[in-house]
Amino acid sequence: MTFLVMEKHFLLQIIVSIALASILALIFRLYKALVVAPRLLRHALKQQGVGGPPPSFLLGNIIDIKNSRASPAAAAAVAAAAGSPASHNCEAILFSAFNEWRQLYGDMFMFSLGNTPVLVVNKYDVIKEVITCTSLDLVKPSFPGLDLEALLGNGIVTANGNSWAYQRKILAPELFIDKVKGMTNLIEQSTLMLIESWKGLIEAEGGKADIKIDDYLKKFSGEVISRACFGSSYAEGEQLFQKLAALQQITAKKGFSLGIPGMRHVPTKHNRSSWRLQRDIRELILALLKQKNEENMDKNMLGMILKGAAESNSKPSPDAITKFTIDNCKSIYFAGFETTAIVASWCLMLLASNPEWQHRVREEVVGICRRKPLDFDSLRHMKQLTMVINESLRLYPPVGVLAREAVKEMEFSGTRIPKGVTIWILIITLHTDPDIWGPDSYQFKPERFANGTAGACKLPHLFMPFGFGPRICLGLNLAMLELKILVAHILSNFSFSLSPNYVHAPAMNLVMEPGNGVRLVIQNLDAAS
């Protein structure tokens, strides 16, 4: 009996020892991943003269960034821009911490999102090499990928390596200019639906209406993306759009806290809502796939996605095909729906704030449309309209940061980027840099684009509202066509000014959007004249 007791005691000791060893090994691995590895990366950058604010344990510089948005400098920038903004310094409102760090540490500095070291690059030669790099070893970062995974899955926007190359091969031809030209009538029909809805509001209000335009523009862009890419309508996908918008808001509210290790797995209120919305979105997309007639699949992008998934060299399983399709549907719906509508909101806000430019572009549109119907060819001749859209994209780019990660050690213009470092290029900063655009860089001056992008600034490659290089946005041609048709029709039907109720408040919710929406006082053009 004593022997059995001793044997049990010995076995218990072994189990406890193994458990302790496992715990210690786990602690060591966590310490190495969360402390040692980031410290080594920061040290490698420091050796090259790159400085930055000291990070806190686990949080990095997240608290510094949040505090900067409530700083007196940021508050002063918001107050200066209130009402009808004469200056458009979004960096001071949204990225005041980065502006301060750049002044302290130079054009290249590092900070930490949780335990993720981030190298912010504002050196023009380094930026050029990064944005034109074709190596598959420079990828969309793992941290932002986790941030957007709920919204976009592993679709074309977030995929890397051979997976990205394959998806691009499938989707890019569907968005080449020749295919997009064929969507002109479809976009015009969607625009006329918006025009009629506004005319109804104006008539109901006695000839002039104060309209919050954002939801109308989102419905317009949703109609275009649904019909052009999926052969459906906004009404059919309305519930899907609503849930994607809700998921975007939740993801944006998490903000920089996603940099805290493990936070995305913790069942917080936001995470539980996010998980529920992801399940709902998946079911809605599956329902969309089931209701489509397979005979017509080859006539839209949805059919090409399904065909491309099935023909992949990896011989995917049915579940893999479903995931591939859902991820790319999410990418196309979100990217095509949200960003175009937001750019249109900013563009109309700027035209409302600058009546002389509103008049100039309207004269151009009406003059051209008198001679021929609005079609792809006539849109190409609307030079002033293009100038206004480009200036809107310069001041209010939909995406404020271009991010990349080196998955092996790389070098750009003599700067060594260690494996695992994330690179941030602040598009908002570059688009209003006085050294590039001149002393009037914070002002709305479309005339700077009179000779195209090449004549607008010293370094044209730094104008990148849709990104640049091999990973430039595939939807660029479609977005520009939508914007031109939409703005041209609005100008030829309405006169508009900023509402007294408009509050200028740029906000970064994954994309840079009007925090309080855009309100315009709109009247029919005939009544205005």
Indicate whether 472 belongs to any domain.
yes
192, two tokens: 């006329």
Query: 482 near 488, Cβ under 8 Å?
Result: no
Q: What is the pLDDT of residue 285?
A: 80
Find all residues with CB under 8 Å of 144, minimum gap 6, and list them: 403, 422
Indicate whether 3 belongs to any domain.
no
Which residue has better confidence, 475 or 10?
475
Indicate whether 9 belongs to any domain.
no
> pLDDT tens-digit profile of 53-110?
999 887 888 888 888 765 555 555 555 555 667 789 998 888 889 999 999 999 999 9
Q: What is the pLDDT of residue 71?
A: 56
Indicate whether 1 belongs to any domain.
no
Q: What is the pLDDT of residue 435?
A: 94
pLDDT > 70 fraction of the chain, expressed in percent and rounded: 84
- Nearest by Cα to 362 from 376, 382, 342: 382
Query: 94 near 400, Cβ under 8 Å?
Result: yes
428-465 in b/e form (b: 16+ CB < 10 A) is bbbbbbeebbeeebbbbbbebbeeeeeebbeeebbbbb
Instruction: Write down the mean pLDDT value for the chain.
Output: 84
pLDDT band at 174 (very low <50, low <70, confident <90, very high): confident
Q: Is the pLDDT of residue 298 over 60?
A: no
pLDDT band at 315 (very low <50, low <70, confident <90, very high): low
Which residue has better confidence, 105 or 316?
105
Q: Which domain, by its residues, includes 256?
A: 37-528
Q: What is the pLDDT of residue 519?
A: 97
- How many structural domains compose the chain? 1
| Cα angle 123, 465, 239; round to 5 | 135
Indicate whether 28 belongs to any domain.
no
Q: Kindly state the average pLDDT of the residues 409-433.
A: 94
Residues 519, 506: Cα–Cα separation, whole Å: 14
361, two tokens: 């572009």
Indicate whether 21 belongs to any domain.
no
Which residue has better confidence, 239 or 386?
386
Instruction: Give the rounded distance of the alpha carbon of 273 from its chain centre.
Output: 22
Residues 508, 220: Cα–Cα separation, whole Å: 22
| Cα angle 397, 398, 401; round to 5 | 80
Indicate whether 16 belongs to any domain.
no
Q: Is the pLDDT of residue 145 over 60?
A: no
Q: What is the pLDDT of residue 328?
A: 80
Q: Kindly state the average pLDDT of the residues 165-183.
A: 85
Indicate whether 7 belongs to any domain.
no
Q: Kindly state the average pLDDT of the residues 280-296.
A: 71
Q: What is the pLDDT of residue 255?
A: 56
Query: 442 near 432, Cβ under 8 Å?
Result: yes
Tell me, what amino acid is at 55? P
Query: 98 near 426, Cβ under 8 Å?
Result: yes
Query: Which region among 27-41, 143-157, 340-354 has the lowest average model confidence (pLDDT)?
Result: 143-157
Q: Model-level pTM?
A: 0.87
Q: Is the pLDDT of residue 179 over 50?
A: yes
Phi/psi for 259 (5° steps) reads -75, -15
CATH of the domain at 339: 1.10.630.10
Question: From residue 302, how far is each of 130, 158, 235, 285, 307 by CA, in Å?
Answer: 32, 18, 18, 11, 9
Q: Is the pLDDT of residue 177 over 80?
A: yes
Q: Is the pLDDT of residue 272 over 70?
A: yes
Phi/psi for 119 (5° steps) reads -100, 115
